[in-house]
A and B are shown apart, each in its own frame.
Chain A
Amino acid sequence: MSDESRSAAEAERVELVRLTSDRRKDLVQKFSALASLIALIAAFGVTANAFFTVNNAMTVSLQTTSIAFLGIGVTVVIITGGIDLSVGAVLALAGTIAALLVKQGWPVPGAMVTGVLVGTLCGLLNGIVVTRLKLAPFIATLGMMLIARGTALQLTGAAPVSQLGAEFGVLGNGSLFRTLEMGANGLPRVVFPGIPYPVLLMVALAFVVAFVLGSLPIGRHIYAVGSNEEAARLSGIDVETTKMFAYGLSGTMAGITGIVLMSRLVTAQPNEGIMYELDAIAASVIGGASLMGGVGTISGTMIGAFVIGILRNGLNMNGVSSFIQQIIIGCVVIGTVYIDYLRNRR
């Protein structure tokens, strides 16, 4: 090989390494989260007998939906460089309002849609406080957290709203492709537990929001605002509208979470969802989102949500107390963010 062609080959190789370095980093992050997810599944599969069953898979998925719904919304806000602490309280307000409306004699679908819209409204109010009053997102959404929780408690007198009727429970408890078989003893036997509606909704919403972030101009603007707000503004991006969209979406997701959660319980609890915002933020961060903004994906957040969900489920099956669970999840959050830090250190 002549010197010339060798140096050309060398240059090409260097170029190739440089080209792939960025994508590789993303892969490492995704992989580290995904690998810990697989490791968890393997570990619990060995330690808990009932872990590897279709039934349990559906249970875990169902339990993960709340974190996932909230995480999807919060991730969008985090990508803009903000934070949304209000989602746990907003979900309680949305759920209780839907339940109270049903009590007033509203049809269930109308009441549920209204509940979701209450969530959207709370999100938009967050957006107004952030963009018009120019307050830090932490403060704005902390305020909304107290306002929404207080409103939910005030409206219900701090008592659960129950006796909502079977129709209210369909969204949370129904499932698709549930197959029963008549047993020899005349009692039905469950062949396949079915895919719970909340799980289907989670998958659908994850795809929709991932599409919005990845393939629509508004998604690109969300990343740009989080990456360099001044540059976004100078490029002619409407930064205020972009942020309003993010907070509105997060509020809507919180509203959906509230409806699904209250429907699962067929009872509206004004105290539901306390600390859920932190689970959502943890899921987002485990999935690779950066609280500095500009970074984050829905696929990562889904992995993060399942890491938390499976950790809870598996630890429960192994009889680990919920106090210890908190400690472990805390360690996982710190560990994954440290990996993220290592990844970005240059």
Chain B
Amino acid sequence: MPGTAPLVEMKNIYKQFGGVHAVENVSIDLHPGEIVGVLGHNGAGKSCLMRILSGAMARTSGEIYVDGNKVDIATPIEARHLGIETIYQTLALADHLDAPANLFLGRELKTRYGTLDKKRMESEARKVLQRLNPNFRNITDSVRNMSGGQRQVIAIARAIYFNARILIMDEPVAALGPSETAMVADLMRHLRDEGIGIFLISHDMHDVFDLCDRVMVMKNGINVGMHPIDEVSRDDVLSLIILSKLPDDWQPRNQNGKAP
């Protein structure tokens, strides 16, 4: 969405592990109502970059701005206060707890006596989970007894329940079947239309071209290309992922009239 102020700007981000550069001088921005795909091989640094934004990992150097204000984001809690919610690839669920407990993990609803408000957490969880998947009934089972799809739905529900403004989704449909994948895609479009900005990490070209407004490709910790989606074809993106450059004769696809 050109014209609007960026929701997030990450500028010149570096992350070093000893001598290894996991992320090297990467800058990226995200506008309200926009889905930006972050692509690259495993180990290209895309998860690392997103973990820095979600407060799960400290950056070596670089600056982050949210709504134009410089922010620190040293912990996941700080990220949450800024409206940044993350769906981790590992889902980050406590297996022995049930769905409501996981949904409200770290920000439990309390009664006025300071005790856990289990009833309200269960009814709220039931509402949000059934909105995502109407067949989801056994929410008070421990999540280790649930299917991959159900677990994924809990992780997604946890991110959207708390009115995120910035959503980081790391392989959100990896464990899902076709109908659930379609449901998540619909949900993402819906959230985008509400003005939420989404970073999508995915290996699935189909999803990326279906959903994203822009794509950024990373290789070996470096940003090798950031393009509006209608400017590149799937082959262009694959070329960026594998060779870290566009084909030699590349021209923006939308200017010479070829559809991607």
Contact = CB atoms under 8 A, between A and B. Distances in A.
Contact of B101 (A19, A220, A236): A220
B105 A235 contact: yes
Contacts of A232: 94, 105-106
A231 B96 contact: no
A231 B105 CA distance: 9
Interface string B189-224: 000000000000000000000000000000000000
Nearest to B77: A236
A223 B96 contact: yes
Nearest to B81: A236
A227 B88 contact: no
B96 A227 contact: yes
Interface string A21-48: 1100000000000000000000000000
Interface in A191-227: 215-217, 219-221, 223-224, 226-227
A233 B56 CA distance: 8
Interface in A230-280: 230-237
B138 A224 contact: no
Contacts of A228: 92-95
A216 B114 CA distance: 7
A295 interface: yes
Interface size class of A (residues with CB under 8 A): 20 to 34
B171 to A, nearest CB: 15
B76 A236 contact: yes
A215 B116 contact: yes
- Residue among B77, B86, B107, B115 with the most chain A CB within 10 A? B115
Contacts of B108: 217, 220
A226 B96 CA distance: 9
Interface in B62-120: 75-77, 80, 86, 88, 90-97, 101, 105-108, 110, 114-116
A15 interface: yes
Interface in B102-159: 105-108, 110, 114-116, 137-138, 140-142, 145
B80 A231 contact: no
Given A216-B114, A223-B97, A227-B97, A235 B145 contact: no
Given A215-B115, A217-B116, A224 B142 contact: no
Chain B interface SS verdict (over half) = loop
- Residue among A234, A237, A295 with the most chain B CB within 10 A? A234
A216 B109 CA distance: 10
B77 A227 contact: no
Contact of B141 (A22, A233, A235): A22
A80 to B, nearest CB: 12
A232 B114 CA distance: 20
A231 B94 contact: yes
Nearest to A22: B141
Contact of B145 (A21, A223, A230): A21
A235 B138 contact: no
Contacts of B114: 216-217
A259 to B, nearest CB: 29
Contacts of A224: 94, 97, 101, 105-106
B106 A22 contact: no
A13 interface: no
Given A18-B141, A22-B142, A230-B92, A236 B97 contact: no
A15 B92 contact: no
Contacts of B145: 18, 21-22
Given A15-B137, A217-B110, A235 B92 contact: yes
A235 B106 contact: yes
Contacts of B80: 236
B20 to A, nearest CB: 21
A221 B97 CA distance: 10
Contacts of A221: 106
- Residue among B56, B94, B107 with the most chain A CB within 10 A? B94
Interface string A129-145: 00000000000000000
Contacts of A115: none
A314 interface: no
A294 interface: yes
A215 B140 CA distance: 16
Q: 4 shortest A-B CB distances, which residue pairs?
A: A235-B106, A236-B106, A294-B96, A227-B94
Given A19-B137, A236-B77, 11 more contacts: A19-B141, A220-B97, A220-B116, A223-B94, A224-B105, A227-B94, A227-B96, A234-B76, A235-B105, A237-B105, A295-B96
12 contacts: A19-B141, A215-B116, A217-B116, A220-B97, A220-B101, A220-B116, A232-B94, A232-B106, A235-B76, A236-B80, A236-B107, A294-B95
